[in-house]
Amino acid sequence: MTPSGIVTLLSDFGLEDPYVGVMKGALLRQAAGLQLVDLSHAIPPQSVLSGAFWLTRVWRNFPSGTVHLAVIDPGVGSARHGIVVVAHEHYFVGPDNGLLSAIHASDPRAQAWVIDRVELALPAPSRTFHGRDVFAPVAARLAAGILEPSTVGQPLLQLAPSVLPLPFQRAAEFVGQVMTVDHFGNALTNLSRAHITANSSEIHAGGRSLRLLSTYSEAAVGEAFALFDSFDGLELAVRDGHAARTLALSVGSEVVLRERSGPVTPTQP
């Protein structure tokens, strides 16, 4: 696999403080010609779940050999490992706290290594900013082709458990949940097209039964509904409104698929 020279960045740092810029500086000090792409720095603070959810969705939009640097790290400074994962012909760099585990598990050929800062001759890191001191230098060297993943440290055969919950069967229902709420107030779930049988399921969330539509424009203004988003996941939305507020949804709220018992009518605010 040839490194692409692209590094994506995903973090919970926000943009009010200079942390993102400093981490970019650490990348460019290692390899000034890198192409840096901000995925998001608005992951909710310490939400490893939200970071893992988005990372599993977005890496496919980049060419083979891209390095994905993800730093949502409430355990920074602790005994948790920093790791490099190679999966799906992409590189992933971040903490071993469940953030990268679902991606690793999704590729039977995936490999992982523990970052050994002594082996890599990295200076002793700050106890609070491994994004700058550990992950950025390693990500930059991988992206520039200076470093091979197998040389960052010892192989890691067992990663921390994935933080991403899976939908499950409960009696005659199939139960998923809200994984994150986006900027528009749409509630994104861990359900996908594969979980919906042909016209056989009703979608229930927030105490309502929701129609499954193809586009936002098909809904009446103010109607709560479901559709498949651009990543083929089931999304709950309100036409010209905020689904999470309208349906009283938050991360972890249940979304239930049931056998259809009759026609589903639009739900109004």
> Using one digit for the tens of pLDDT, what is the confidence trace for 80-113?
999 999 999 999 999 999 999 999 999 999 999 9
SS3 54: helix
Residue with the two structure tokens 């930059």: 140
Q: CA 131, CA 143: separation in Å to the nearest integer?
A: 16
Q: What is the pLDDT of residues 22-67, one digit of tens each?
A: 999 999 999 999 999 999 999 999 999 999 999 999 999 999 999 9
Give residue 4's pLDDT.
96
pLDDT value at residue 268: 43
One domain for residues 147 and 178: no
- CATH code, domain with 106: 3.40.50.10790
Considering only CA atoms, which of 70, 94, 81 is closest in space to residue 11? 70
Q: Could you tell me the residue range of the domain that residue 96 belongs to?
A: 6-151
As for how many domains the chain has, the answer is: 2
Do 213 and 92 fall within a single domain? no
Could you tell me if residue 241 is inside a domain? yes
The answer to whether the pTM exceeds 0.85 is yes
Dihedral of the CA atoms 70, 71, 75, 79 (nearest 10)? 60
| 29 is a domain residue | yes
Q: Find the radius of gyration of the CA atoms of the chain.
A: 20
What percentage of the chain carries pLDDT values higher than 70? 95
pLDDT in tens, 157-191: 999 999 999 999 888 888 999 999 999 999 999 99
